[in-house]
Amino acid sequence: MASPTTQYKYLERDPKSSYKQLSIKGRRIKARTLYGMYMSAEEPRTIQEIAEGYNLPVEVVEEAIAYCKSNPPEIEEDFRREEMIMELSGMNDPNYKFNPQPRPLTDEDRAAIRRAFPA
């Protein structure tokens, strides 16, 4: 993944997270989380409501939404990585709902993930 070329005032990559998508600086809140609330089909929230709910300035929420609307490749990569982990751990199995215990990832599984999604 190439580094983002846009400079953000309120967003950064969380160094403590395995996700590559950007988060709110110092808050560990993914920009995609805020965007999901804004774009929710069931209960869309206004920018003001989101800002108040997270005790954030409106400008922070606006920047997070703009970032997500730009369709950054790191969000898609994070999603594909999660899907691969779910598949390898058995969480996509139709019977998983009857026994929700994910299979531990093997060393081979982890190597496959690293090959598919290098750091």
Looking at the DSSP assignment, which residues form a beta bridge with residue 22?
Answer: 13
33 three-class SS: helix
| Opening angle at CA 111, ends 110 and 117, nearest 5 | 90
Give the percent of the chain with pLDDT over 90. 85
| Confidence bin at 4 (pLDDT 50/70/90) | very low
Looking at the DSSP assignment, which residues form a beta bridge with residue 30?
Answer: 23
CB 81 within 8 A of CB 75: no
Look over the chain and give the mean of its residue pLDDT values, rounded to a whole number.
93
| Confidence bin at 1 (pLDDT 50/70/90) | very low
> Left, alpha or beta for 30 (phi > 0: left; psi -120 to 50: alpha)?
beta
**Residue 92 to residue 84: CA distance in whole angstroms:** 10
Residue 42: per-residue pLDDT: 95
| Confidence bin at 2 (pLDDT 50/70/90) | very low
Looking at the DSSP assignment, which residues form a beta bridge with residue 34?
Answer: none
**Is the per-residue pLDDT at 116 higher than 90?**
yes
pLDDT tens for each residue of 7-30: 899 999 999 998 999 999 999 999
Low-confidence winner among 3-7, 19-23, 99-103, 105-109 (lowest mean pLDDT): 3-7
* Tokens (6 digits) for 110: 């982890």
| Confidence bin at 5 (pLDDT 50/70/90) | low
